[in-house]
Amino acid sequence: MKKILLISNYFTPCTLTPSQRITFWARNMHRLGYFPTVITRDWTSETRSHQDTKRPLGVKVRHEVFDTHEVYYLPFRPGILDKAYLAFGESALRPLFLVVKLVDVFLARFTLNFTSFANFLPFIKELLKQNNFHSAIISGEPFYLFRIGYSLKKDFELNWIADYRDDWSTNELQMEKSGGVVRKWIAQVESDYEKQWVGTADALISVSQVYTDRIARFLDKKGYTIENGFEEELLTLKSQPLFQEFTVIYSGVLYPSQDLSTILGALQLAKNADVPFRLLFLGAGYDVKERRRIEEMVPMELKPYVEVTDRLPREDALVELQKSHAFLAMAYGSMKGIPSSKLYEYMALGKPVVLCPSDGDIMAKMLAEAGLGFPANSAEECFEQIQQIRGLYSTGKIEELKEISKSKIAKYSRFSQLQQIREVLGD
């Protein structure tokens, strides 16, 4: 077995979506001839809010060894940016947080000692003095972890791969989310960091071909696409009884670019026709600003039909998803090439997916291939699609839809995607 370093901020028992990718890789790379050593921060499964990810955790390094991989959990001590977020990030003092952000960006040019992962590089350097590794794969974000790869290449000549779950300074979604002159200035500084740090990588990986092509052009590097995919276990989950009310679920956090007016318009039409449905935003309350946006957009007469929950443990969230009649996906404004990580989960669970509004791009294509897509670009179209889905349940054709989709989505399983790692690592 070839020894591989996997460096990631997110890893089980963290239940946030970013942890799923590297956790699966660590547990399954042995099937391809690799033994991963994971370096991550300490985590607890009790992560209910964004603030929870910023609080101190752990007092010493924990080392867990399995037949398939090993993990080093390093104590987490918030750096200056995370401390500032806890103090000012969601309050009227947010401008102070932005000032600290500017300082953090400036200091990253020289050192990671003021960040929340200051202990990563010293620990890894000591580990490399005692072990030989074939390569390192570093997963971002946080993208400042790529500075570790830059240092390891310089000091140890260690080959490393940059794994982008999103793109960094070329990321249109984050630019739109944060906006403003300050964000644009930071993006320019970080683009210099990206070119310098990832310029030492042997290759890069990203989660969609659009992302991969864009990053590869920016860095003039060889790029590979390994999509997030879904765990095969989702195909065989024990079934759950459906909600009594017809329920459409959106899973995860929303972005400001995602337009809620179309689905809310469809709900209004459904209410007017005396066939209202329940609209559940599962876990969207994790982001305080997006919870507020949803709640402010819902008209008073529709509030009884709309619910926003805090983040749930993954097992509980899966139960809620199985009880729904349909899922909701939404385009990210006019931006293309963005595959929602939840889309893979939706497909594996085999429920109809209302894509409202449709992106007319990668999500629409994937759902059409799977036979699960019900795209709409107006409130009227969305209402009609939901009525069509109701008809599938009333006629008993819903199970047929699920069975047909299973064979069509096999290529999107996590292991099917992971098999490309051999080519990435030059094997």
For the stretch 71-90, pLDDT in tens is 999 999 999 999 999 988 77
Residues 6+ apart with CB under 8 A from 197: 146, 147, 149, 150
> CA-to-CA distance for 262 and 202, rounded, in angstroms?
44
Between residues 253 and 26, the one the model is more confident about:
26
Tokens of 65: 């060894």
pLDDT over threshold 80, residue 339: no
Q: Classify residue 242 by its DSSP letter.
A: P
Q: Are 215 and 195 spatial neighbours (Cβ–Cβ below 8 Å)? A: no
> CA-to-CA distance for 273 and 379, rounded, in angstroms?
13
pLDDT over threshold 70, residue 363: yes
Q: Please, what are the domains in the chain? A: 2-230+415-424 (3.40.50.2000), 233-408 (3.40.50.2000)
SS3 category, 71: strand
pLDDT in tens, 265-320: 999 999 999 999 999 999 998 888 888 999 999 999 999 999 999 888 888 999 99
pLDDT over threshold 50, residue 60: yes
The predicted model gives 400-427 an average pLDDT of: 92
Residues 6+ apart with CB under 8 A from 51: 85, 86, 90
The predicted model gives 14-21 an average pLDDT of: 90
pTM above 0.75, yes or no: yes
The predicted model gives 140-154 an average pLDDT of: 95
> In which residue are the tokens 């033994």 written?
35
Q: Are 324 and 290 spatial neighbours (Cβ–Cβ below 8 Å)? A: no
> CA-to-CA distance for 408 and 405, rounded, in angstroms?
5
Task: Output the pLDDT for position 180.
Answer: 66
CA distances from 259 to 206, 253, 290, 399 (A): 26, 13, 12, 30
> CA-to-CA distance for 40 and 28, rounded, in angstroms?
17
Between residues 381 and 252, the one the model is more confident about:
381
User: Taken in order 356, 357, 359, 360, is the CA torsion positive or negative?
Assistant: positive
Q: Classify residue 354 by its DSSP letter.
A: E
Q: Which one of 37-41, 166-170, 422-426 scores highest in mean pLDDT?
A: 37-41
Average pLDDT taken over every residue of the chain: 92
Tokens of 406: 């299973």
C-alpha angle 249-254-259 in degrees, rounded to nearest 5 = 90
Task: Output the pLDDT for position 169.
Answer: 83
Q: In which band, very low, low, confident or very high, does the pLDDT at 25 lie, cut at 50, 70 and 90?
A: very high
The predicted model gives 9-36 an average pLDDT of: 95
> In which residue are the tokens 């999500």 written?
363
Task: Output the pLDDT for position 90.
Answer: 73
Burial of 84 (0-12, 13-18, 19+ CB in 10 A): buried
The predicted model gives 406-411 an average pLDDT of: 89
CA distances from 242 to 97, 246, 248, 324, 403 (A): 44, 8, 11, 6, 18
pLDDT over threshold 60, residue 145: yes
> CA-to-CA distance for 13 and 100, rounded, in angstroms?
30
DSSP 279-326: EEEETGGGSHHHHHHHHHHS-GGGGGGEEE-----HHHHHHHHHH-SE
Task: Output the pLDDT for position 371.
Answer: 93
Q: How many helical (H) and strand (E) elements, i.e. helices and strands, does the chain have?
A: 17, 14
Tokens of 248: 């459409």
> CA-to-CA distance for 398 and 88, rounded, in angstroms?
48
> In which residue are the tokens 């969230």 written?
317
pLDDT in tens, 201-221: 999 999 989 899 999 999 999
The predicted model gives 167-193 an average pLDDT of: 73
Tokens of 416: 């099917």
Q: Are 277 and 244 spatial neighbours (Cβ–Cβ below 8 Å)? A: no
The proportion of the chain whose per-residue pLDDT surpasses 70, expressed as a percent, equals 98
What residue type is assigned to position 200 of the chain?
Answer: T
> CA-to-CA distance for 380 and 254, rounded, in angstroms?
22
pLDDT over threshold 50, residue 178: no
Task: Output the pLDDT for position 164.
Answer: 95
Between residues 341 and 321, the one the model is more confident about:
321
Tokens of 110: 């020289």
Least confident of 9-23, 83-97, 161-175: 161-175
The proportion of the chain whose per-residue pLDDT surpasses 90, expressed as a percent, equals 71
Tokens of 212: 């991969």
